[in-house]
Structure 1
């Protein structure tokens, strides 16, 4: 069994006590991660703050070169890190390696953007005065990795923060810490100065209490649940920290009668069950125009039944792997029971697979629910698993009302061949991202906002870099 520790100021330090990491495919323990102590947390923050004084003063091109070197090293180690990710998270090995390559792309993208941080020269308010508006790095950043895409989503934070001139303390998820730790290790091996990029693991309460009470930490970046985000908002008040929160989603998938139904069904199945539904932009609620509802359901269910579940290292790769832990499986069972209680019909799935080869892992069959009502949990709460409900609508207005009837607002999907209809629906959806006739809502080059209870701040695009910069106005008498 492998043992992992925290990286503090360029040195790997063992903490006190440890927690185990389990392979969700078979329930076996694959690694142990030591827990950081309170003194180690304080030392990590002090080291990051000290390193910030030099890193922030480097020329932007110097920071850029460091990020390019880190990206090259991550790309070189993609298979190695991807294997760890597949073992601890359960996604297919090809998808895991793709995630690592995407993290390298992210490092390169912000390496480019980091040399183009521009200020302004506002017009003067007096003839003898001039203003120079600068943007400077905010300081020490605490970045929390999500367990479903632990390398990709942490790169969305680490890359812009380092490019801006900030230093970073990464906290991996307890469910999938290994690939995050390896990502940080590889970036440091590429030549980052000590203290620039640190990683700590351990008890959430101990780490969070020190982070939120320590004034040296200036920004907290999280991808996680809405409930965790709300706790972070409360905790940040004491020292008025800046927050960047990408939280829950409960994505609607709207299909009009004039859509390419074959394409909509294929895309809907993929976005509903990819990574076993454990994605913040996964489809949970499908709304289909009444005239094509029966045909859509029939073909969608047939497609869902063909999804092959399996171990992430199978060849060919499975369509669906295990859930990340046993509690996820229990949560799915609760959603199913609630749907049945409210009259829902389980068209396929709805249970753990019966094949004995899956008995030791955390597997759950891809599930489709019809005859849904607004009172069902599946229509109100994000399952974060392989469950999707299909409902109907009669007009564009009704589709929008149903889609907006949730506290979330991250990603919505619309399928129609009518561009005027698509435009009207997109503008009236209360969602930060709307994908029309596609299931690729995020891009390195565009903002990825969450509306309502799906987040605060922005990731990706040049907007993602802006989160880690402060404005300063310097007024000069001439």
Structure 2
């Protein structure tokens, strides 16, 4: 049995909460000042899992002030970079030791399958913290010769107190993407989780304390975005805001952050294209196309939700894609080993996806598969939607233009390379894209022309802690992961040194 101050775990789907869930501030779990709470709901059964305290303005202010104090105190400010890295390594080890607990909580809280959480999310989350632990003592500046009497050098310093707001689709992974580089660079953090998935971050708080981080360096809040999120972004002692979520919310954050010119990095929505050329290896194109939109219930910012297929292989691709979806995308509860697609995260998201299905039919698109709720849970409960495929889609349709964030894909035809690139770029977003062809010259040429922060050639959804992640256009500002991720959490100070007495 694995346990901590919040939960006891005996097996997947067997978690018992042992006491009220608080806010993690200054290395302690505390109730919200107002006593306000939010509930976590199992999306497969629609039953309440647990209640957690919801932060208000007073709680946000308390968390930011302790983070600001910790930034200045010797226990963090003067801690050597190697020692910071050692703390992060210890945290990663503790996360790995509790991987079944984290996987169970995220599956229960989010609806993703337990196997997906255990074998992918946890591996990534631990790997990201270890990757940035290795960077902690390798962040350095430059020495620059100017004249024979002068020289200059640069120092990379932390930005300060960082407000981080994460989404609900990958609760633990998204937390580590932001915590890793922020801590490696010496910042202090106040992180707010999504109100739909508030639980795993509290377990992570327990491990932060056990790893030995000084009080106030890492603080975790739950709460509503309109209350806690707004207060956090607007706080005068917050130096930087890092956000992952919808483009609409990011626009609001930009407006709030602009009042004090806060440093920001944003990873937002996507409507990623996947282009299949006539010379593609068809079995691979179908396999990756299916994974690119149906994995994690389609609740992926980089989901390749627009499939664009060359006309001469369109019929072959569609036939095989339909068959793969039928045989592979089993909809079921998150605990069954043969489940591919669990429930959507919430009733709001469930209704949003069904609304887009209705809109697609009204716009004249041809729905060739899915489109209906799937009655899996007790008495037909649960937020399950069948994997849905639309054809005869045109770029003027909402289902082509707008992010649905569910298991819904649109498929269109193209005739030549120029048209394929034009269709791929026909979007306000620019997060990810995929290209399938056996012609490597064409692959590189098209990858360069597609307007996206990331392009996969003959695959989809590849992600690695060492490789930058981020978008262009309305898909965000800045990059996460890789060495580039350090730039978001450090600033360069130049020091000019005069070694002589002359001007």
TM-score tier (shorter): over 0.9
Query: In 1, are the aligned partners of 2:332 and 2:376 still within 8 Å (CA)?
Result: no
The answer to whether 1:352 aligns with 2:369 is: no
Tell me how far apart the structure 1 counterparts of residues 210 and 257 of structure 2 sit (CA, whole Å).
33
The answer to whether 1:180 aligns with 2:197 is: no
| Alignment equivalent of 1:112, drawn from 134, 137, 140 | 134
Query: In 1, are the aligned partners of 2:443 and 2:457 still within 8 Å (CA)?
Result: yes
Deviation at 1:354, TM superposition (A): 4.7
Tell me how far apart the structure 1 counterparts of residues 205 and 289 of structure 2 sit (CA, whole Å).
34
The answer to whether 1:52 aligns with 2:71 is: yes
Deviation at 1:39, TM superposition (A): 2.5
After TM superposition, list the pairs within 5 Å mapping 1:51-450 onto structure 2.
51-53=70-72, 54=74, 55-98=76-119, 99-124=121-146, 126-306=147-327, 307-314=329-336, 316-354=337-375, 357=378, 359-450=380-471
Query: In 2, are the aligned partners of 1:164 and 1:468 still within 8 Å (CA)?
Result: yes
After TM superposition, list the pairs within 5 Å mapping 1:4-19 onto structure 2.
4-15=21-32, 16-19=35-38
Query: In 2, are the aligned partners of 1:56 and 1:137 still within 8 Å (CA)?
Result: no
Deviation at 1:10, TM superposition (A): 1.1
Deviation at 1:357, TM superposition (A): 5.0
Structure 1 unmatched runs, 5+:
none
Tell me how far apart the structure 2 counterparts of residues 281 and 205 of structure 1 sit (CA, whole Å).
25
| Structure 1 counterpart of 2:10 | none
What secondary structure is seen at the aligned counterpart in 1 of 2:468? Answer: coil
Tell me how far apart the structure 1 counterparts of residues 86 and 277 of structure 2 sit (CA, whole Å).
48
Deviation at 1:63, TM superposition (A): 0.2
Structure 2 unmatched runs, 5+:
1-15
| Structure 2 counterpart of 1:34 | 53
What secondary structure is seen at the aligned counterpart in 2 of 1:24? Answer: coil
Tell me how far apart the structure 2 counterparts of residues 456 and 60 of structure 1 sit (CA, whole Å).
28
After TM superposition, the score normalised by the length of structure 1 is 0.97
Deviation at 1:6, TM superposition (A): 0.3
Q: Call closer, same or farther: CA 1:465–1:358 in 2, change over 3 Å.
A: farther
Tell me how far apart the structure 2 counterparts of residues 127 and 216 of structure 1 sit (CA, whole Å).
42
After TM superposition, the score normalised by the length of structure 2 is 0.92
| Structure 2 counterpart of 1:20 | 39
Equivalent pairs, count: 476
Tell me how far apart the structure 1 counterparts of residues 298 and 233 of structure 2 sit (CA, whole Å).
32
1:19-47 Cα distance to aligned partner (Å, 9 max, x none): 11100011000010112233222121111
1:216-271 Cα distance to aligned partner (Å, 9 max, x none): 21111111011111111111011111111111111101001100111111111111
